[in-house]
Chain A
Amino acid sequence: MQLALFIIFGALAVLGALNLLFQRHPINSALSLVVVMISLAVLYWSLGAEFLAAAQVIVYSGAIMVFFVFVIMLLNAGEEERTHGSRAAYIVGIPGAGAIFSLLAFVFLSESHALGSSSIGGYLNHVTSNISEISTVLFTKLLLPFEVTSVLILVAILGAVVLARKEQ
């Protein structure tokens, strides 16, 4: 059952990502990205990270991508122009991407014991409450990085306000 979910939504994520690249209108690309994000959320959920899945849907596809779509709608962006790109991208890019993929796959497979693993659907019952575990870790062990990150985001917001403000 969980394997079927994994296959369906994994395929959907890959198809969405390809569609994101091949679509010429920015709004279609943005919507494909939404599909990718929601499929990833389902994959997280089937791995037992239900809080991460919900946060992914609410924050990324519900808030950030809505703003992307919003900006595209406001700017009235036209279709992108097709260019051939540089030759270096063709010569180096495809083997480079293949090499990075192989390297990451090798590392993940050979170090799988050290990284820890999760069986698909193993946590879908109510035995562990992920949310209380996450909040315990977040507010005890990782409190300083967590707070520093929120201050960083606050600084970014203030910077945006300063940049966007009209001169008096």
Chain B
Amino acid sequence: MSHLTQFQTFLLLSILKVVVVLVITLTAVAYTVLLERKVLGRIQNRWGPTRTGPFGLLQPLADGIKLFLKEELIPLASEKPLFIIAPIIALACSLISISVVPFGQVTRVDGVDLFQIADLNIGLLVILGITSIGVYGIALSGWSSNNKFALLGSLRATSQMISYELALGLSLVGVVLRAQSLSLRDIVNSQSAHGMRSWNVFGGFQFVAFFIYLMAAYAETNRAPFDLPEAESELVAGYHTEYSSMKFAMFFMAEYANMLTVSCVATLLFLGGPSSPLGHLLPDDFGGPVLAAIFPVLWFVAKVLGFLLLYIWVRGTVPRFRYDQLMSFGWKFLLPVAMANILITSLVLALRG
């Protein structure tokens, strides 16, 4: 690529990275749905989808075609512009935040890092900010539908997300204190010294923060056991009651993409991201340069998959909370514990260095 200027190489490689990451994320979203249906089926002693393709592997494709071909209904009394823009906000915000996630070790081709779209020095804050903008998608969808169930669902979702955002953000402070940086790349590097022993969950003594993050993340993505916004026994379907066809699919995809993002962040912050749990037991250039670049990506994918399985397992196990239980759990338990974690972590760090 010698006849291209540096800027042209950067532009082309960046577009390529964005396209590849988007395609992989959307495919992962589709197959997370299938994984959830299969695993949940097994938990509940039934088969899950089996008819389309071998082991039901083509089910996401069939679902996609069905949703594309369905009739698009917009209620007459709805606020049309907001009704249309709400699912777009929700999906866009959940997909944008994946752009700062580093998927592998730094592998530079012509000065462009292959496994991360954008290495920002405030990557963590960017993820938090984009998540907080994503609330508008849900808030507006419920209000613009002109339906009382949708409005109640979106009010629940909004207040729940705002409340748990605090515990979520505070649980990350301990990790940031240890890494002394908000860049996700630096945070990963701070845990890569001795494999599993230097991960923040184990060696970093951030397991309290890890559990706070996990619980707050379930609430933040509106998943069971905190799926009150779409509690079907009370609210029909919550904020997306009036949505059909692709607009409904966009909310659905946004929810699963959010799950993916949250799992990626948990992996990066607490489980060492793409670094191997074995540390340097294997030589760093094991299997040549190509394999050495691919192995960290595989570790990353395996950890994210573990988190997704945990999500599904929790959904199959724990019953739904009541709304007042949810609020008092967030404000009276998670928030004080997160603050105590910050105090103790900073005290220990100040005493040691």
Which A residues have a C-beta under 8 Å from some C-beta of B?
Answer: 27, 31, 34, 38, 50-51, 54-55, 57-58, 61-63, 66-67, 69-70, 73-74, 126, 129, 131-132
Chain A residues with CB under 8 A of B159:
70
**Count of residues in B whose CB is under 8 Å from the partner chain:** 27
- A–B complex contacts, Cβ < 8 Å, 5 sampled: A50-B122, A58-B129, A61-B132, A69-B136, A131-B121
Residues of A within 8 Å of B121, CB to CB, are 50, 126, 129, 131
Residues of B within 8 A of A55 (CB): 125
A37 to chain B, nearest CB (A): 10
Binding site for A on B (CB under 8 A): 79, 82, 120-122, 125-126, 128-129, 132-133, 135-136, 139-140, 142-143, 151, 154-155, 158-159, 162, 165, 180-182
Known pairs A57-B132, A73-B151 / 9 extra A-B pairs, C-beta < 8 Å:
A27-B79, A31-B140, A50-B122, A54-B129, A58-B132, A62-B128, A66-B132, A66-B139, A129-B121
B15 to chain A, nearest CB (A): 16
Q: Given B133, B155, B162, B180, which contacts A57 in the complex, CB threshold below 8 Å?
A: B133
Report whether A70 and B155 are in contact in the complex, using a CB–CB cutoff of 8 Å: yes
* B142: chain A residues within 8 A (beta carbon): 73
A38 to B129 CA separation, bound complex (whole angstroms): 10
Chain A: minimal CB distance from B99 (Å): 15
B182 pairs with A61, CB closer than 8 A = no
Which residues of A are found within 8 Å of B181, using beta-carbon distances? 129
Looking at the assembled complex, report how far the CB atom of A75 sits from the nearest CB atom of chain B, in whole angstroms: 12
CA distance A56 to B181 in the complex (A): 19
Minimum CB distance partner of B125 in chain A: A54
- Cα–Cα, bound, A15→B284 (Å): 53
